Amino acid sequence: MKAIFSHKILNRLIILMILLSTTCYSQTSNADFTKTIASLNFVPLNEHTQTQYAKDSIGDTWLKIAVPKNLLNKPLILQFPSIHVNKYNIYTKQKGLWQKVSINTDLEGGKISPQYQENHFITDHEIIYFKSKSSYVHYGDFILVERGEHRSIMLNNMIKIEVFYCLFLLSIVLIGALYSLFKEKVILIYCIYIISVFLIYLIEDGILYFLSNKQSNELLMLAILMPISCLLFSLFIYYFLDIQKLSKKLKYFYSFQVLLYIVLGTLLYQTNNSLYFIIIVNSTLASTLITLALALKYYNRDKSVRFIVYSFSIIALTSMTYYLSIFPGHYYLSFVDKDKIRIIYSIAFTVASYTLWVKAKKLKADHDSLKTEFEALKANKTQKLKEDLKQQESTPVYQTEKSVEKEQSLQDILREKYQCTDREIEVITCIWDGLSNKDIADKLSITLSTTKQHVSNAYIKLDVKSRSQAMIIKNEIIQQHSSTYNK
């Protein structure tokens, strides 16, 4: 009996010592925290909010957030609606003691999987403190509301996101339909480019964080998708403008970019250091601007080029502003938030998609017109061949040599009078022979888009707008040559 009594006393003493040590540790911890707070020099964030911020000796950012009196002693949620604010601590005061809030944990201690990181707590003090290694948090773009109101805010936010994604998906479907209709490589590349931007925004909106149950590395995913999107955009501009040959400097530049992305992506994967991500972001934006500068060389050629340059210049500049406001954290660029980017992206991609649609319709109309001309020329050529065969039966052999000499003379006239290149002379000769653009491409072993460009240049130099007018030019040259030859 005495042994049992002694055992109970021993247990009570152990429990008492644990409680005393816990209380002592809590008091020491609170004293240290209070001392740390006292050493910080808080300044107002801006004139529109009561939030204040400060930097400590190791470079961490602190926010001093005021809690409205009507929210005290109520279940609250503090959230930064950004995947880039993810490594932080929140300190609240309850019953005179400072406590660190557990991230993504409800008030009952259960784990949750939100769109962005959430912090659930109850406080009886009018001040809470926020500590992070990111300077981006000092913009004060956070949500501090009751738990019930937070659901309403998230619902409204999801509605805006759904509208944005519906427009994105509509653009993808439209471009996919264009590709199935025309089978142009430039349309396919543009479609893949839109899909890459779509995936980037899924990550930025926290959808991947939600679906993967917080197991994904969003920074690494962005570091992979952003260079891919940038290179796809450069490829799209290359095909859209039908650039025949890149300069050696640009080839070296793009090759260096690809190598840089691979090296930086590997380093980011190994170290998880956001510095490498910053370099990747700035490199992709620099590459985009160089591509747009290249497009400006062809600015006045076509209205569609102007619309494309306008649209994607706006997209590039807004993206640059957004990411530079986060990395390294320029406060004066924080006026561009994700809601504004959604609106800008929606308008820009709609304009770009409409431009491609108009250009595709124009190409189809030109194709139909050329097909009609080709059928007419084919019929005329058949009739002419019959007449030539009859004439050849009664024509001496020396006329063949004369025909070769005449053809060579026509090429000389095209070269000297109309300043045509050898390739353009070949294309013009094929047009005079009644060949379609596809037949010309097959005969000269060049792409269809390159053929169209040569045909367009040939029309400009001959000052004609159709194949029938080009045939008239041929007849005029032959008549002039014949009269000169007879003299």
| Token pair belonging to 140 | 């004060």
Give the model's confidence band at 3: pLDDT under 50 very low, under 70 low, under 90 confident, else very high: very low
**The predicted structure's pLDDT at residue 214:** 60
CA distance 361 to 305: 15
CA distance 80 to 78: 7
Write the CATH number of the domain with boundaries 44-141. 2.60.40
Pick the residue with more confidence: 350 or 192? 192
What class has domain 396-486?
mainly alpha
pLDDT (average), residues 429-449:
81
Among the listed residues 400, 382, 459, 391, the one whose alpha carbon sits nearest the alpha carbon of residue 428? 459
pLDDT (average), residues 128-140:
76
Pick the residue with more confidence: 202 or 398? 202
75: three-class secondary structure by DSSP? coil
> Contact at 8 Å (CB) between 121 and 78?
yes
pLDDT digits (tens, 9 = 90+) for 380-414: 666 665 565 566 555 544 444 444 455 556 777 77
Alpha carbon separation from 291 to 281, 298, 353 (Å, rounded): 16, 12, 19
Q: Which amino acid is at 412?
A: D
Answering whether pTM is above 0.75, one says: no
Write down the domain spans for the chain: 1-39, 44-141, 156-362, 396-486
Alpha carbon separation from 225 to 196, 245, 287 (Å, rounded): 7, 27, 15
User: What percentage of the chain reaches a pLDDT higher than 70?
Assistant: 78
> Contact at 8 Å (CB) between 119 and 79?
yes
**Residue 76 pLDDT greater than 90, yes or no:** yes
Instruction: Return the DSSP state at 125.
Output: S
**Residue 28 pLDDT greater than 60, yes or no:** no
Exposed/middle/buried for residue 49 (C-beta within 10 Å: 0-12, 13-18, 19+): exposed
Comparing 273-287, 294-308, 464-478, which segment has the lowest mean pLDDT?
294-308
pLDDT digits (tens, 9 = 90+) for 216-247: 688 888 899 999 998 888 888 888 777 766 77
CA distance 476 to 480: 6
pLDDT digits (tens, 9 = 90+) for 259-279: 989 999 999 889 888 788 888
pLDDT (average), residues 287-304:
74
Q: Where are the beta strands (DSSP E) in 182-249?
A: none
pLDDT (average), residues 124-132:
91
Alpha carbon separation from 440 to 153, 154, 199, 436 (Å, rounded): 61, 58, 40, 6
**The predicted structure's pLDDT at residue 401:** 43
**Residue 445 pLDDT greater than 90, yes or no:** no
